[in-house]
Structures are given as structure tokens and as C-alpha cells.
């Protein structure tokens, strides 16, 4: 009589453990789907931001090139002043 009671308890515990494992697996699967979806959206946003950044950098570079071509002496003077200012600010004391 004791043996069958022990088997029933063991079977009940095993059943509860299996239910808990099934719930954990389902939750993990849902979490994985959620993570994959959000990673995909984040990747898309990063690519869009990178493309936008490249476009802006190209625009700025084109404007600087145009300015240097149109005003070469002023550009040289600005570069000289920027160099002197940089050296002054980074001079070791």
C-alpha cells in the first residue's frame, strides 16, 4: 500500500514539473519572438539613421568644397586661424 502511494506522489510531482517546464518553454518562446521582432526594428532604424547621417555628411562636404572653391583665400585664412586656435587650446602648460 505504501509503495503505490509513493508512486502516486512521484507521478504527481513529475506531472507538476512537466507542466512547469512546458510553461517555461512557452514563455521562453514568446520572449524570443518579442526579442527578434524588436531587434529587427532596431536594425532597421539604425540603418535608416546611418543612411541619413551619410547623406548629411555628403551635403556638408559638398558645401565646404563649394565654399573653398569660391573663396580660396578666405578658406586658407580660416584654416590658419583654426590651427592657431587649436594649438593655443591644446598647448601643454
Span 48-66, pLDDT tens digits: 999 999 999 999 999 999 9
pTM: 0.50
Mean pLDDT value across residues 16-38: 89
Output the pLDDT for position 93.
62
Quick one: how far is CA 64 from the chain centroid? 31
Share of the chain above pLDDT 70, in %: 96
Distance, CA of 57 to CA of 75 (rounded, Å): 19
51, 43 contact by CB (below 8 A):
no
Amino acid at each position: 500500500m505504501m509503495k503505490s502511494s509513493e508512486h502516486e506522489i512521484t507521478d504527481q510531482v513529475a506531472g507538476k514539473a512537466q507542466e512547469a517546464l512546458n510553461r517555461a518553454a512557452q514563455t521562453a518562446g514568446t520572449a524570443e519572438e518579442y526579442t527578434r521582432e524588436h531587434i529587427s526594428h532596431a536594425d532597421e532604424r539604425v540603418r535608416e539613421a546611418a543612411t541619413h547621417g551619410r547623406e548629411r555628411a555628403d551635403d556638408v562636404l559638398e558645401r565646404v568644397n563649394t565654399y573653398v572653391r569660391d573663396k580660396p583665400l578666405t578658406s586658407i585664412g580660416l584654416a590658419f586661424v583654426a590651427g592657431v586656435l587649436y594649438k593655443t587650446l591644446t598647448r601643454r602648460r
